């Protein structure tokens, strides 16, 4: 009987240790670097090459699920922020607007404030004007729903922002 109790205690302790370790990993955001310490993030990501959106869109399998560094324009529409590059060569597979875009999304809402500040600064310009960014984030293919008009649900790709290195108003005089 003592032998069974000993095994049960060992199993419970092992299980508890696993749960505590997992919770600690998630609470410290070890899987995705935190946006709160921007100087350490710059050091982590400075070795990544700076890509343009055409590279991601034309090679989605190569970059799917990977953290990439991107220099692109983000645009704002009625249904969310998105990445679209008019300079990308047309692709016969791309039949509609959503298939050519990546929804621009945020892990940390404080990052969105940087982009909002740029838009407020150019209050005389249309809110749909592009904002140029150099950003690090996770690129992935999206399983779009097409059942509503939200960019996050209908864009072919998602770009989840981890950090914004540069935010500039291309149209500022």
- 139 in the same domain as 68: yes
Q: Which pTM does this prediction carry?
A: 0.65
Please give the pLDDT value at position 31.
43
Domain assignment present for residue 149? The answer is yes
Domain assignment present for residue 17? The answer is yes
The domain of 18 spans: 1-31
Q: What is the 3-state secondary structure (H, E, C) of 5-30?
A: HHHHHHHHHHHHHHHHHHHHHHHCCC
Domain assignment present for residue 173? The answer is no
Q: Count structural domains, the chain.
A: 2
| Tens-level pLDDT at each residue, the chain (173 residues) | 778 888 888 898 898 888 877 776 655 444 444 444 444 555 678 889 999 988 998 899 999 999 999 998 888 777 778 887 777 765 555 555 556 678 888 777 666 777 777 777 666 667 677 888 888 999 998 876 666 666 667 778 889 888 888 877 665 54
- 26 in the same domain as 104: no
Q: What is the CATH number of the domain that holds 43?
A: 2.40.50
């Amino acid at each position: 009987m003592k032998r069974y109790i000993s095994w049960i205690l060992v199993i419970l302790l092992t299980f508890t240790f696993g749960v505590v370790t997992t919770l600690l990993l998630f609470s410290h955001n070890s899987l995705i670097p935190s946006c709160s310490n921007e100087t350490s993030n710059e050091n982590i990501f400075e070795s990544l090459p700076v890509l343009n959106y055409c590279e991601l869109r034309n090679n989605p399998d190569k970059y799917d699920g990977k953290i990439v560094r991107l220099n692109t324009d983000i645009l704002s529409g009625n249904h969310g922020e998105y990445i679209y590059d008019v300079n990308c060569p047309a692709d016969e597979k791309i039949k509609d607007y959503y298939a050519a875009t990546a929804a621009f999304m945020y892990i940390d809402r404080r990052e969105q404030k940087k982009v909002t500040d740029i838009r407020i600064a150019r209050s005389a310009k249309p809110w749909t004007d592009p904002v140029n960014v150099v950003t690090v984030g996770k690129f992935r293919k999206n399983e779009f729903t097409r059942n509503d008009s939200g960019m996050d649900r209908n864009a072919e790709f998602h770009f989840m922002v981890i950090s914004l290195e540069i935010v500039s108003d291309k149209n500022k005089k």
